[in-house]
A = this chain, B = another copy of it.
Amino acid sequence: MKDRTMIYQNEHFYIEKEEHELPWVKIFTKTPYKELTDLPQPIFNELWSLYAEVETIMREYFQPDKINMASFANMLPRVHLHVIARYTDDAYFPNPVWGEKLRQGRKIKEDFGAFYALVQKRLKEKEEEL
C-alpha cells in the first residue's frame, strides 16, 4: 500500500493507524460526511458493525483496561471514529487522551505492526463470510 498510515480498506471504509504511544486507529468513511447522521442508514449500520469488529480485535490483542471511542472532526468536519486502548497506568488515564497528561505512561509491550496485520486479516476473513 502506498499510504503507510492505512491498515485496511473495503468498499465503504478505510482504517488508519494513529502514530501514538497507545494503540489507536481511526475508521473513516470513503465518502466524506460531516456528521454521523449524514451517513445513509446502511453505511451508518455498517460503520458500527465495523467498529465492533475493530474494538473486539483491539480488546483481544491488547487486553486494555478500557476502550475509548470518539467522533470529533472539529478541525476538518469529516466523520471518523477514534478507537483507543487505554490502561490505568498510561500517560493520561483516567483523562481522555485529549486531556491533561498526568505521568510518564507505561510502555506497551505488544507489537503494533502485528496488531495492524491482525486487523487486516480478521476483517478480510469477515468480508469472505458475507
Contacts and interface: CB of A to CB of B under 8 A. Distances in A.
A43 to B, nearest CB: 12
Interface string A63-78: 0011111111111010
B94 A96 contact: no
Indicate the size class of the contact surface on chain A. Answer: 20 to 34
A59 B35 contact: yes
B66 A69 contact: no
Interface of A: 34-37, 44-45, 48, 51-52, 55-56, 59, 65-75, 77, 86, 93-96, 98-99
Closest 6 pairs (CB-CB, A-B): A74-B94, A70-B70, A96-B98, A98-B99, A69-B71, A37-B55
